[in-house]
Amino acid sequence: MSSRPPGNPLKTLPQREVTPELRRRTARTFWLILLAFVTGIGMMVAALAWQGRGASDYARSVRDAVVAGKPSPNASYSVGCGSVKAGPLPRGVTSCEVRVDGGQVGVHLVFEGGREVILNR
């Protein structure tokens, strides 16, 4: 008894004919997947921009509160944002620190993932 390698099962199947309807469905599926991908990227960009704007507004309000207290030009110190403005940090911000150096006020924000933003005046 000789053992032959099995034949290719695809050669025994009849070839499928690509009809115009099948082409339309394939093209429609391709464009819908592409549209969903682009929409998803757009939504992520919008969410990050919205998050950044909220944090930026918070940093400005903290900075304005410190500036309203008229820090001395001879003072240099750092405090947490929570001691200047009560309430929780914006979403995605892990730490916030106000730095006063020679009367110049800066707010240092650290986001999840290590991204840092410094808002100076």
Residue with the bigger pLDDT between 3 and 41: it is: 41
Residue with the bigger pLDDT between 98 and 92: it is: 98
Residue type, 115: R
Q: What are phi and psi of 40, to 5 degrees?
A: -60, -45
**13-68 per-position pLDDT tens digit:** 777 888 999 999 999 999 999 999 999 999 999 988 887 788 888 889 999 988 88
Q: Say if residue 5's pLDDT is above 70.
A: no
Q: Say if residue 81's pLDDT is above 90.
A: no
Residue closest to 69 by CA, chosen among 103, 118, 38, 101: 103
DSSP state of 26: H
pTM for the complete prediction? 0.62
